[in-house]
Structure 1
Amino acid sequence: MEAAFSIAIFLISYLFIILEKVNRALVALTGGVLMLCAGVFTWNDAFQSYIDWHTITLLFSMMVLVSITQKTGFFEYIALLLAQRVNGEPVKLFIVVAILTAMGSALLDNVTTVLLFVPVILNLTNILSLPSFPYLLIIIFSSNIGGTATLIGDPPNIMIGQAVEHLTFVSFLTNLAPIVVVIFVSTLMLMLFLFRSTLKADQQNLVKIKELNPDDYLKKSPLLYKSLLVLCLTIAGFLLHPVLHVDLTTIAVSGALLLLLLTDRDVNAEVVFKEVEWLTLFFFIGLFVLVGGLQATGVIDEISKGVIFVTEGDLPKTALIILWISGLFSGIVDNIPFVAATIPIIEEFKEFGMMNLDPLWWALALGACLGGNGSLVGASANVVVAGIAASHGEGISFLRFMKYGIPIVIFSLVIATLYMIIRYLLPYLQGSLV
């Protein structure tokens, strides 16, 4: 009965999120409270087991860092500098934004990357009088695709890396980066084709861009130097966290607190806290609780176990089904709880005599990360971009996003399937025949 309640509450909440008649954060929180009222789990379970406070705290910390840095005009400066480097040409700008986002998401985590890039792009599209939607869309797609390439790029990869000791940073890079490059380039070309009529600039705006001086937007003050110093230290901490053995959340919180302390006389902390995207954070909390209901009643676990039943322990079948189920499922709910439920299931395949489970881990990583592009709630980066865009008056429609997101996910999974077959499954079958 509880499973039926959790499924019904989740589906109804998801429907209201899609319809966008009520604020997404209110819908998610209401659905979460209904889970509690239905007795699916307790408040203690929700706070201790299902809400990912690491993600919430990381987002909050980066929002604080971005909020303070934004007051220096640094993002406007970078936006204008970037626009002048590409001569204000929308297509060139589109390509550069996609490449930088993908690279940033591979080296940092994708949430941090979009937090840094989105304010820049929103300022830039405003200066050039360009529609922001295509650029926000390519940022989301590039962040999720680029984050697939490395161990630290996307939360599912971090979880897999922590569960499987022999899968190192280099392992992720050598196994996933080649196909990520192919998917990224293919997606970029496809998006350029789809938005070919939109990516055109007014000649007057191009002339205006050349006449503007980026230095005029930069407020050279102690606040600027403090902000950039702490921001650089935080990013360096993210890059060095495998060496420092300090988790990303601790690094982000330390950076935010340090900047707040250093700028206490320049910026009122109360003002900074008011500018935090609270609706985005509460939407995440509600979403975690909603998905937690499916987790608590065993719905996600049963989906994962169903893979074993269908494939009967056959590695090639299992790898492809894990790829597609994780890809499609991650477009509906956040991929973190699905990966958490699937990891122990994959480990059970050792009982079927599978000694080399690596193809299954790569299938899960590819499916969960690439599938995040399916909807606005498919990945953390998507929700963050939508929240920042909404605060700038550039809201992204749930259905409009899915119109592009679902085809991109299917397109990406088809390419990933061919890669899995050629690199892992055919050699396995040939070895088993010998």
Structure 2
Amino acid sequence: MSVTIAIAVFIISYIFIMSEKINRALVALAGGVLLLLTGVYQWEDAVTSYIDWNTVALLFAMMVLVAITRKTGVFTYIAIWLAKLVKGKPIPLMIGIGFLTAIGSALLDNVTTVLLFVPVILTLTNLLQLPTFPYLLTIILTANIGGTATLIGDPPNIMIGQAVPHLTFLSFLQHTAPIALLLLGLVLVLLSIWFRKQLKQIDSNRIDELMQMKESQYLKKSPLLFQSLSILLLTIIGFLLHPVFHIDLTIIALCGAILLLIVSEKEVETDKIFEQVEWVTLFFFIGLFMLVGGLEEVGVIDELARSIMWLTEGDMTNTALLLLWVSGIFSGIIDNIPFVAAMIPVIEEFETYGMTNLDPLWWSLALGACLGGNGTLIGASANVVVAGLADAQNKPIAFVKFMLYGIPVVILSLIISTIYIYFRYLLPFQQPL
């Protein structure tokens, strides 16, 4: 009976999350509470075993760091500076925004990055009278690609990094950043070709208006600027030095957030900063972990692992490539966060079937989930955030229209990832020592 309840609650919750008719955090939490009420597991199990507090705390810390830094106006300054640098030319502006978004997503996280850049881009496109869709599409695609490059760039990577201690910040830079950089270049070329007719030369008066803007007016030159940028940089350096000092990433991020809150207390009120934290996202994660915990409690995760092993006959190459494509396809349909939450215990279970080196599987999951999120508007959290910001400004993104561009990008990304994974991880694995 518990198996039926856990599966039913999980599927129904998924359907409501995909429909977006009810707040997804509320749906996930309601599903988790229902599992508690029906006795699938106890509250103590949820708190101690299934909710990944490290992931929740790491996201919280990064949100605090960025919320304070945003008050300095540095991100608006950068966007206007870029627009002026390319003299308002539509295609170079799109490419520049793509690079900025990818870098921001790698160093901060993709949800935070789109929250920072989308409002600025909407303002710039209105000023220059440019169509917004190409730029919003660029932000979404490059945010997910850039987020693939680092441990903190995309929530799925954070979850994988917390589950596998030896996959450090530096590990992600070494293994996922190279292919992310390659895909970023290819996708920006594709976008330039697709939108070359829509993004033609614009009215010179509009360009003059842009060039007269003073980006320095948006930059608040106060002690907070130096404090926030310095501590943000120190936090990222701490991530890079994690293998040396062996301090948990969550502790590094929390130390950075708390330190910045303390030193900036005279300029910003702590309670105001906490109001800007994306609590909905954090509670969505908590509810999600509870939903997946129900499947783990009743043995569904174990059975899924056995099924994959049966399909691939335990062959590492077949398992890794199947995981890559399944991750890519499913992440485009059902949001990559819950998919990765469900798959982490599945991969961990493979070790009990004799697979000693699981790293190719972790990289397959990371690449498939992060890159597959570009398939639809609900494929990744960043997509949903951009769509919501666009709707608020009466610039809605059509679901089907997005798919016409997103699906080809995902297919291209998965093909290149297949080649990358095979030659970097699987071919050496097949060769005798």
**Equivalences for 1:100-111 in 2 at 5 Å?**
100-106=100-106, 108=107, 111=109
Amino acid aligned to 1:33: V
Q: 1-side partners of 2:399 and 2:215: how far apart?
A: 35
The two structures have a TM-score, normalised by structure 1, of 0.81
Residue 88 of structure 1 pairs with residue 88 of structure 2: yes
1:250, CA displacement in angstroms? 1.7
User: Counterpart in 2 of 1:120?
Assistant: 117
* 1:70-95 alpha-carbon deviations (Å, 9 max, x no partner): 23322222221121112222322221
Stretch of structure 1 that moved more, 260-269 or 113-122: 113-122
Q: 1-side partners of 2:157 and 2:276: how far apart?
A: 31
Identity %: 56
Q: 2-side partners of 1:28 and 1:397: how far apart?
A: 26
1:211, CA displacement in angstroms? 0.4
User: Counterpart in 2 of 1:260?
Assistant: 261
1:309, CA displacement in angstroms? 0.6
Q: 2-side partners of 1:42 and 1:403: how far apart?
A: 44
How large is the Cα RMSD of the aligned pairs? 3.7
Q: 2-side partners of 1:318 and 1:324: how far apart?
A: 10
User: Counterpart in 2 of 1:305?
Assistant: 306
User: Counterpart in 1 of 2:39?
Assistant: 39
User: Counterpart in 2 of 1:277?
Assistant: 278
1:268, CA displacement in angstroms? 2.0
Residue 228 of structure 1 pairs with residue 229 of structure 2: yes
**Equivalences for 1:20-419 in 2 at 5 Å?**
20-106=20-106, 108=107, 111=109, 114-116=111-113, 118-129=115-126, 134-149=134-149, 176-196=176-196, 199=199, 202-203=202-203, 204-331=205-332, 332=334, 333-334=336-337, 335-348=339-352, 351=354, 359-374=360-375, 378-379=379-380, 404-419=405-420
Q: Is the 8 A contact 1:41 1:293 kept in 2?
A: yes
* 1:389-408 alpha-carbon deviations (Å, 9 max, x no partner): 78888787777766654543
Amino acid aligned to 1:11: I
Q: 2-side partners of 1:286 and 1:398: how far apart?
A: 26
* 1:329-358 alpha-carbon deviations (Å, 9 max, x no partner): 444252442442133344345x3xx77766
Stretch of structure 1 that moved more, 148-157 or 202-211: 148-157
Give the secondary-structure state (helix, strand or coil) at the position aligned to 1:373: coil
Structure 2 CA distance for partners of 1:256 and 1:318, relative to 1, 3 Å: closer
Stretch of structure 1 that moved more, 214-223 or 142-151: 142-151
Give the unaligned 5+ runs of structure 1.
Answer: none
Amino acid aligned to 1:290: L
Q: 2-side partners of 1:422 and 1:53: how far apart?
A: 36
Structure 2 CA distance for partners of 1:313 and 1:266, relative to 1, 3 Å: closer
Structure 2 CA distance for partners of 1:150 and 1:371, relative to 1, 3 Å: same
Amino acid aligned to 1:411: L
Q: Is the 8 A contact 1:31 1:290 kept in 2?
A: yes
Structure 2 CA distance for partners of 1:271 and 1:428, relative to 1, 3 Å: closer
Structure 2 CA distance for partners of 1:150 and 1:124, relative to 1, 3 Å: closer
1:196, CA displacement in angstroms? 4.6
1:378, CA displacement in angstroms? 4.9
Q: 2-side partners of 1:201 and 1:294: how far apart?
A: 55
Q: Is the 8 A contact 2:55 2:158 kept in 1?
A: no
Q: 1-side partners of 2:97 and 2:79: how far apart?
A: 11
Q: Is the 8 A contact 1:140 1:382 kept in 2?
A: yes
Give the secondary-structure state (helix, strand or coil) at the position aligned to 1:21: coil
**Number of equivalent positions:** 426
Q: 2-side partners of 1:249 and 1:391: how far apart?
A: 33
Amino acid aligned to 2:279: W
